[in-house]
Chain A
């Protein structure tokens, strides 16, 4: 049953009254893969993930998570997934260790609480009250509670929103170490660099649809995309830019034409950001 993908989604649909949040999404996420769902706010990322987590019902399509329809996921299924949610800092008056222990007790095969606290970098705060944690520390606790059950699949919904750059780097290392354990990770983000740094594969979602999917290097035809060759022609007529799939030949021609250096010559390929911005602007209604 689990020989196939960790997550399989076909033609997933969800509307809230007259607003279509998810408009026919297909996804296949393999075991052990880090998959990023990338898109602007309101694109349908969170709705998609909440359907897969079993928090929301879909209107149409099929979804299978670890071989199970999330709508029918029972305790045994929940023991195999981990959901990292953001908790407000107004938690109960318990210490980090008490809280992680409590959550560990729900699972048949948890990680040891001390090990998880160490893994997320909260060892020094293990005996501090949750209410005394800083924002970044609270988010680490969120991760600890999501992974303490030793899940096969972890959902992370915009995990680093509001992090400072250093905290983000540390968080990325944590995700990488989970990945090394063989954990499958589905992460949503609106940070391009985050998707690029962490994900084996990225799907760009905009207006409820997947507009591109692939590995970060080739996403949206990036590898094959036309290069831009620009230079300053003589006579001050303004800069000339040509898009071409054969930039080397064009530069050779220019070199012959100018008989030496081409003034102001640049050759660029689209960055992932260019591709991404093109993709989401095309999807706008």
Chain B
């Protein structure tokens, strides 16, 4: 019995296609209804469509809009207003430091934090199990998540850049080199954080605990990575601890994009360390991929 071949695709639809008494009262079968072979929809088309739907759901979700999308800008305005007037040295204002760091924090918020919470919720409320019971290709689910994360993260970054420009004298880079740095830090950082978010979604044991279980360590990470407090102002042991995680390097990369020339002298290493930043992010990207492959489940454990 286990040696049966593939089911006859598209065949044997006679019974289901028969109109019943109940349906006969309804309009005649729609024109698009064919009885022959119909191809299963492609991964990319489904992925893009589901990504677009997820973006819509994201911006309708008050929790997501307030705590994922809005909070970094609110904190930037608060922190910038309290400490922003001070000059950090080398012609850099604290407001600029906060903006560059908060862009990195915002990227991680819409990628890591949101994905971890939303996927954990989908797993616990049965949505993942339900999707896995349909012919949706599993790759389309992840493609949809990446489309959603990319859209929301771009929007988040634009919002934070606008806040920085309006309030804190943030200057958009003018050299192609800096834009190139921005592009790879943004893409590598959001891809890494998205994968880590998918992996972290397996940690919470219930939909209700998803937000606190993910947000608490993420908040700590923001403090030790130079996002909520300038990196130079935190104790050495925190700097060392933060250096093990991707957010510190993303923030450093963003400072190299948005701060004036010479500001690298303010870094603990007195350099932007682009090579090391890329290396750390790629290592975390690989770790994220492995963790996702090993830990992702379509069903709740309970």
Q: Which A residues contact B (CB, under 8 angstroms)?
A: 1-2, 8, 10, 31-32, 53-55, 62, 64, 66-69, 72, 74-80, 83, 85-88, 90-94, 98, 102-103, 105-109, 112, 115, 118, 129, 145, 149-152, 176-177, 180-183
Contact = CB atoms under 8 A, between A and B. Distances in A.
Interface of B is mostly: loop
Given A62-B1, A91-B127, 19 more contacts: A54-B133, A67-B7, A67-B8, A88-B124, A88-B126, A90-B121, A94-B56, A98-B56, A102-B49, A105-B46, A107-B40, A108-B10, A108-B40, A149-B134, A150-B13, A150-B16, A176-B22, A181-B19, A183-B16
B20 interface: yes
A64 B5 CA distance: 12
Contact of A94 (B18, B33, B53, B207): B53
The residue among A69, A177, A182, A183 with the most chain B CB atoms within 10 A of its own CB is A182
Interface of A is mostly: loop
Interface in B1-43: 1-2, 4-23, 26, 30, 33-34, 38-41
Interface of B: 1-2, 4-23, 26, 30, 33-34, 38-41, 46, 49-50, 53-54, 56-57, 60-61, 121-122, 124-127, 129-130, 132-137, 207, 299
A106 B6 CA distance: 19
B31 to A, nearest CB: 10
B134 A78 contact: yes
Given A68-B7, A149-B135, A150-B16, A88 B207 contact: yes
A85 B129 contact: yes
Contacts of B14: 182
Nearest to B22: A177
B130 A85 contact: yes
A38 B49 CA distance: 40
Contacts of B137: 75
The residue among A1, A54, A69, A103 with the most chain B CB atoms within 10 A of its own CB is A1
Nearest to A182: B15
B16 A151 contact: yes
Top 5 A-B pairs ranked by shortest CB distance?
Answer: A180-B20, A182-B15, A177-B22, A108-B38, A93-B60
A130 B161 CA distance: 35
A108 to B, nearest CB: 4
The residue among B46, B125, B135 with the most chain A CB atoms within 10 A of its own CB is B135
A177 B5 CA distance: 32
29 contacts: A1-B7, A1-B8, A2-B7, A2-B8, A32-B15, A54-B133, A62-B2, A67-B4, A67-B8, A68-B7, A75-B137, A76-B6, A76-B9, A83-B134, A85-B126, A86-B126, A94-B53, A94-B56, A94-B57, A102-B50, A106-B135, A107-B134, A108-B41, A149-B134, A177-B22, A180-B21, A181-B18, A181-B20, A182-B14
A74 B134 CA distance: 10
A55 B299 contact: yes
B41 A145 contact: no
B127 A181 contact: no
Contacts of B1: 8, 10, 62, 64, 69
A77 B34 contact: no
Nearest to A31: B15
Contacts of A80: 7
Contact of B57 (A66, A87, A92): A92
